[in-house]
Amino acid sequence: TKLACEIRDSANKVLAFCTNEFKEQHLQYQGWGTVVANLEEIAQAMQKTELKFKKAVAIFLPLREKQFKILENFNETISLLDRIPLLKSLKEKETDEGLTKRSQDEGIISFIVSTDSGPSTLLEWITTQGQGQSIETIRLKCFDDLRLFDSEMFAQLDREVQ
């Protein structure tokens, strides 16, 4: 009977091992099923993004030459903006912002009115709204980007995606 008990214990260990392996195999199967489902969703999302991108490129490329012409005539636009006086509503906004600056002096709030006369033309106002970049720098960046994004670059990108 001792031998029979040892065989039974050994068989139970093998059974437990096999049961555990079966459960792990099932979990692994479910995990891979989830991975495949996620990959299919990602592939579908990529296809939708590709279609949107191709539509955007199809709209962009015909307008590219027009954008170059706008940038080539940019100096005329700058000259025009420099002749246009600042709109009243923009002046009022600048004044309101100057009035709302507050300083606290021993518990008393005082309003500080800006002594700066501020911009007088639309070009000056636009220039003050920038984040440290000159309009010329932005124009040159646009030129560089337009040169970069040509039909050949998009065709090469499309080949790489395929």
For helices 135-148 and 2-72, give the axis angle rounded to 10 degrees.
120
**What's the pLDDT at 106?**
42
Q: Report how far residue 85's alpha carbon sits from residue 123's, in angstroms, rounded to the nearest whole number.
A: 9
**What's the pLDDT at 35?**
97
| Short-list 38, 48, 65, CA closest to 146 | 65
Question: What residue segments make up the domains of the chain, in order of their start?
Answer: 1-61, 73-162
What percent of the chain is predicted at pLDDT more than 70? 83
Model-level pTM greater than 0.75? no
What residues of the chain score a pLDDT lower than 70? 93-117, 132
Q: Report how far residue 54's alpha carbon sits from residue 157's, in angstroms, rounded to the nearest whole number.
A: 11
Burial class (CB in 10 A: 0-12, 13-18, 19+), 75: exposed
